[in-house]
Amino acid sequence: MLRSILLVLLVSGFALGTLAQKPSAKPSLPERIKAQRWQKRVVVLYAPTAESVELKQQKASMTSAEAQVEARDILIIEAIETNLSPTEKQYVRQTLDVEPSGFAVVLIGKDGGVKRKETKPIDPKALFETIDTMPMRRQEMRTKGE
């Protein structure tokens, strides 16, 4: 009987301890961008709300150029003002130099530096031209024989 009680207490304690653990938090915008350093180029699509017409236009144009996006190791991250934490908002303002009320497309190179910023939707071809002039991309093209 004592063993049964101890076993129940042990199992209950384990279950409570498991339930009390915090779920792993989603990485912040700066963490997500930093994690891509030397791996991918990041294009941040910033908009005040998810309903932004400019955001929808940019997403559609990038989707239509999916093969070129993939060929250039681009990761597209949406940053919607209404969904950002105070720390993420500060990062967007200070590091990416984006106005809170406007739309922006920010290209971040594999080295982590901001390479281009536009406040209107940009034709993916223009974005690809910027990338294709970068020394690292030129080396990639030589290596891949493009």
Residue 109 falls within a domain, yes or no? yes
Show the domain range for 73: 29-144
Per the CB < 8 A criterion, the answer to whether 107 and 116 are in contact is: yes
Residue 9 falls within a domain, yes or no? no
CATH number at residue 128: 3.40.30.10
Q: Report the distance separating Cα 95 and Cα 92, nearest Å.
A: 6
Q: Report the distance separating Cα 127 and Cα 105, nearest Å.
A: 10
User: Lowest-pLDDT range, 6-20, 52-66, 130-144?
Assistant: 6-20
Residue 52 falls within a domain, yes or no? yes
94 phi and psi, to 5 degrees? -85, -50
The count of structural domains within the chain is 1
pLDDT above 90: percentage of residues in the chain: 72
Residue 103 falls within a domain, yes or no? yes
pTM of the model: 0.81
Residue 71 falls within a domain, yes or no? yes
Handedness of CA 7, 11, 14, 16 (dihedral sign): negative
Q: Report the distance separating Cα 15 and Cα 30, nearest Å.
A: 34
Residue 4 falls within a domain, yes or no? no
Q: Is the pLDDT of residue 23 over 70?
A: no
Residues 62-102 have pLDDT tens digits of 999 999 999 999 999 999 999 999 999 999 999 999 998 99
